[in-house]
Amino acid sequence: MRIPESLRDAAALAVEHLHVAQSTTALTADALRSRLEALVLQAALDDHYRENPKARPSLGDLAVAAAELDGHPLASRPEVLRRAAREVVKSHPQADADDVLLWAEAQAALAG
């Protein structure tokens, strides 16, 4: 497998100066393993949602979960985040949980 020279150099620097792995080979293998695991998990989740569409969390649910994980102040106000999710997708149909948090935060700042 060929790796771009700049990426190989960056990995060597990270191993030598940041001590992120025992070798560039170990770093590369770990990164590849992590990426493959993420791809397999995402594929399994996508299959589950195809078979069980009602199990898919709403954008509002995702925003609440993201806020809770981040310790965001709006985590304690899930109704605000769910309302923000309904509003933000009207103008940004591809919005994600972070977009909802930002929208809700901006709305709270304008109201406050």
Token output for 71: 């310790």
Token output for 77: 């106000």
Task: Provide φ and ψ at 15, rounded to 5°.
Answer: -70, -45
Greatest CA separation found in the chain? Answer: 55
CA-based radius of gyration for the chain = 20
- Domain limits of the chain? 5-54, 57-111
Overall pTM > 0.85: no
Tens of each residue's pLDDT in the chain, 112 residues:
899 999 999 999 999 999 999 999 999 999 999 999 999 999 999 999 999 999 999 999 999 999 999 999 999 999 999 999 999 999 999 999 999 999 999 998 998 7
Distance CA 10, CA 17 (A): 10
